[in-house]
Structure formats: structure tokens, C-alpha cells
Amino acid sequence: MHILTIDCDYTDRAGIAAAYLLHDGTRAAFIETNTSKAVPLLLHALAEVGLQPEQVELIVPTHIHLDHAGGVGTLLAACPNATVLAHPKAAPHAIDPRRIIAGATQVYGEQAFAHLYGEVLPCPAERVRAVEDGETVWFGEHPLRFLHTRGHANHHFVVHAPTAQAVFTGDAFGILYPALQRHGLFAFPSTTPTDFDPEAAHQSLDRIVATGASRCFPTHFGAFTDLPAIAAQLHPLLDAHAAIVTRAEQEQWPDDQLDPRCRAEVLDLFDRLLTDHGLQDDADARSLVAFDAELNAQGLAFAVRKARFKRA
């Protein structure tokens, strides 16, 4: 089985978000789609390996966040024989994406949403299949094993392809932008709204390493080896993000101060990370992580509000 990394040109920048094309010369599968704007890039990659849209059998978003699954409906419409495989909690949103669209619009605003994601099409229900934890789906002669991995999102799974010694990790195994790997491994977790759960995220890291895969393919971005080293970097960073939530609760930060204080704490954390990796004076590196730092901070503030709501 061949694995091709496709740069989806997300946010009009290289090396930010990938989709992966799996093929054996006669059949194809996509893991992740990015947005509808990326679908022409995916179809071009398919043609480059000599395959037609009719030969695509599977379309597999690791979760329903729109930088992973915004283009599922558009790609499905172009691939008449494909089936979408989704987490049981994600499948209903692939079929009816209105709630996902509304939530993302609230986070980003209408103008930014339109620029980032374009059109988000629904998938016909009969072409969407929910995949349970531990289930195996065969892609030709190759088993694909699905592992539910919470922490970043409650509707997240990873895809283990044992014959390729590969695991496709979505956002459950951190963000690893190639442009940041200049002075050694640089990974950080994604705590975006609305499902940050540090305990589950730690368990997901361990479960991914336990697959024994020699390569991981995070959506952000590309192939990496030495999974234990990546997990060893992510575990303490998850703790550092969780500590911000704990501090907000213990010190009873006012509701109207949650967003700016979480933002300040996360920016300070990322400043220290950049310094630790010798990138403190690199404007490009700072620009690259700024978007994720903002989303991480929003996720932490949301986690505090959710906890307060549950207690009330």
C-alpha cells in the first residue's frame, strides 16, 4: 500500500494541513479531506497516481472539525463509489453539517469562515458508515483498524494501518508543523473548543504509541517517526494546558476575564516553547503558532465554563 501526503494549502500556506491518499494501484482511499477548497488538490493527486474518482472506495475523516472534514461532502459527490467512514458521534454531522457550520461560524466569524472553509455539503445518509472502537475495515488486502481517541474531540478516531506500520492520528497526537522542526522535534497539543479532556488525551497518546506503528501521520503535518519521543513531549504540555484550567478554577477567574487570561497564559507557554527550541526571534515561527495558541486558549476557557455550568 502506498501513502501519499497531499498539502491542502490550508490558510493559503504550505505545510499546515494534509490529507492522505492510500492506494494499491487499483483502489484508493482518502484519510482527511480538509475543506471543499482542497478537493481539487485531492482529485489532482488521485489522477497523478493514475487512478479515477470511481476507484475511490473510502473517505475517512478522523473527526468532523472542518479543517479535517469540511470537504467530505464535496469529495463524496465526486467519487460515486466511495463510502464515508466516521466516528459514531461524527456520522450524524457528516449527514447534516448545520450544527458544525454554526459552531465554526461562531468561533471564526462569517467572513473568516467563508475564507477558510467555503461550502460544506451534506453527505447522503446511505453513504456514511459509523465505525466502532477497535473495528477493522478492509481496504483491499490491507486491514484498517479504528481506535476511538478522545481528548481533543469526543468524536475522534485514529486509523492504524498495520501492514504499512502507520497510524493516521488526526489531532490526537499533536501538531507537528514541518517549519518548526529546525532544531529538533517540536510538537504541541491541540486543545481547541469544545472537548478538551486532558485525562482522555493522555490515554489517547498512550494508545497510539501502543499500536507499535513505526510512523505516524498527523494531519498537521506529514510523516514522523519515533512515536514515543513525540508522546514524551506532548504529555507534559497537556499537563501545562490542564494546569491553566485548574488555576482558573482555583483562583476563580471572573467569567469576563477567562478569555484574555487564558490567552495570556497560553501565549506565555508558547513563548517558552519557542525559546526552548531556539525560535524565540523567528517571526515566521511565531506567526505559525499564533493561530493555534489562540484556539488552544479558547478551548481552555470553554473547558472552565463547561465545568462551571455542570456544577451550577
Residues 70-96: pLDDT tens digits? 999 999 999 999 999 999 999 999 999
Which of 107-121, 230-244, 284-298 is predicted most confidently?
230-244
Sequence-ordered list of residues with C-beta below 8 angstroms from that of 94, at least 6 positions apart, any chain: 61, 64, 69, 72, 73, 84, 86, 122, 123, 128
% of the chain beyond a pLDDT of 90: 90
Q: Round to whole Å and give the CA distance between 71 and 9.
A: 13
Mean pLDDT of the chain: 95
Q: Residue 132 burial (CB < 10 Å; 0-12/13-18/19+)?
A: exposed
Determine contact, residues 68/221, Cβ cutoff 8 Å. no
Report whether pLDDT(229) > 90.
yes
Residues 2-18: pLDDT tens digits? 999 999 999 899 999 99
pLDDT recorded at residue 209 = 98
Indicate the pTM of the whole model: 0.95
Q: Is 141 helix (H, G, I), strand (E, B) or coil?
A: coil
Supply the DSSP symbol for 295: H
Residues 150-205: pLDDT tens digits? 999 999 999 999 999 999 999 999 999 999 999 999 999 999 998 999 999 999 99
- Which cell numbers hold the place of 15? 505545510
Determine contact, residues 19/75, Cβ cutoff 8 Å. no
Report whether pLDDT(312) > 80.
no
